[in-house]
Amino acid sequence: MKPPHIAIVDDDESVCRSVSRLLRQLNMEATAFHSAPDFLDYPMRTAFTCLVLDVQLGTGMTGFELRQHLLERGDCTPVIFLTAYDDPQTQAQAKRFESAIVRKGADPQSLIEAIRMAKRPRLAFVPKPQKKE
């Protein structure tokens, strides 16, 4: 069975390195990108099992804007947001996307658990169209 392949999108190279190292220790593949445009230019981006997105990417889109962009194009790959700013507004935004949020610098186990939960198969809920009377 092929190992899970996780994309990390963070403008901080040290975060990309540490998360990549952690995932590889758990027998997962990791590919790091330093901006949303770098990720969007990647030709195989739909092959990822899960995306780990920094909320405050340095240039271009935020992690939330990147998630919205992907959803608008039909990409429903599970997402985990990383943030240094764990405030109620940031948490609410992550919840809106039905995604976990992990604080940077938190116990690595919290990120590992969020990835394990995100990898679980989920049934897509597609509401039936309302009948016009």
Give the ranges where 43-133 is alpha helix by DSSP (H). Answer: 63-72, 88-96, 108-119
Query: Quick one: average pLDDT of 39-67?
Result: 90
| pLDDT, greater one: 95 or 130 | 95
Query: Rounded CA gap, 82 and 66, in Å?
Result: 13
What confidence score (pLDDT) does residue 23 get?
94
Query: Rounded CA gap, 54 and 8, in Å?
Result: 8
Domain ranges of the chain: 6-119
What confidence score (pLDDT) does residue 116 get?
86
Name the CATH architecture for the domain at 6-119: 3-Layer(aba) Sandwich (3.40)
